[in-house]
A = this chain, B = another copy of it.
């Protein structure tokens, strides 16, 4: 499987193998414009900072860095992944990146200069299928992916690349799967169709690449967060972390749609939400929605204690 030559015998002690550990946060909110991520450096980086001895835990270190850099206090936090790939961060440094997903509401914003909210889909324009498949997939990505596939040396690899591209991007009549966000990004990286793949190496004359990029492997971490969140909303009631205290069922639906990047059947969504008893009517209504005034709901917190694995099942199409 793998070489076993690397390490010396026994355990090395002391400072010999010390590394730097970075904490990186993907802070997500949803507003009318869609799903947003909290960024610094004018959208080029995620909030992050080194894990320090003073930090009580990884989570508290992360909270401290995000609050320092953006003024944003974090509520719900969940660990995403720990990366340490040598080639993916740029220089020849050895850094461990421990990434987290945080869910919040944009209004919680304190005033801070360096921060800004950016739409997910600025970084991943091929991921938003709410108005059908975006043109970029067939017009830009597909030809370039085919070109990449056909550039392989042997037939088996060509076949495999074509198949992977087709599965990830729903080509050849396949169904779109919104949870493959990370695989799509990794495929584009492998095909050198994203800017990150071209750093350091051959800086050939490059055609424009789709989607805005970020420093180091931050866009990859964002893709990880999107994939995780799109998967998780289907079986855990995490959407409510993104909602205001009171909301209508349509607002809830629009939030889920913004995250998953696809539209949901309205009656089925309502039925599923209501029968799970995750929300309760407040009695109040709002007329701000345009048509008939809608009931305002609130999240039924106590249900969480009793049903620890209760899923927010969502009627997203399967295959």
A79 to B82, CA, bound (A): 8
A residues 276-308 touching B (CB-CB < 8 Å): 305-308
Residues of A whose CB lies within 8 Å of any CB of B are 1-7, 9, 11-12, 15-21, 49-61, 63-65, 67-68, 73-75, 79, 81-86, 94, 96, 98, 163-164, 167, 177, 179-180, 183, 305-309, 319
Q: How many copies does the complex hold?
A: 2
Nearest-neighbour CB distance to chain B for A15, whole angstroms, equals: 7
Interface of A is mostly: loop
Nearest-neighbour CB distance to chain B for A241, whole angstroms, equals: 13
- 4 shortest A-B CB distances, which residue pairs? A18-B18, A2-B63, A4-B67, A6-B54
A21 to B82, CA, bound (A): 11
Tell me which residues across on chain B come within 8 A of A2, comparing CB atoms. 59-60, 63-64, 67, 73-74
- In the complex, the answer to whether A57 meets B73 with C-beta atoms within 8 Å is no
Q: From known contacts A19-B19, A86-B56, A180-B308, infer whether A64 and B11 are also in contact, taking CB-CB under 8 Å.
A: no
- In the complex, the answer to whether B167 meets A305 with C-beta atoms within 8 Å is yes
Contact partner, A21, options B50, B86, B96, Cβ 8 Å: B96
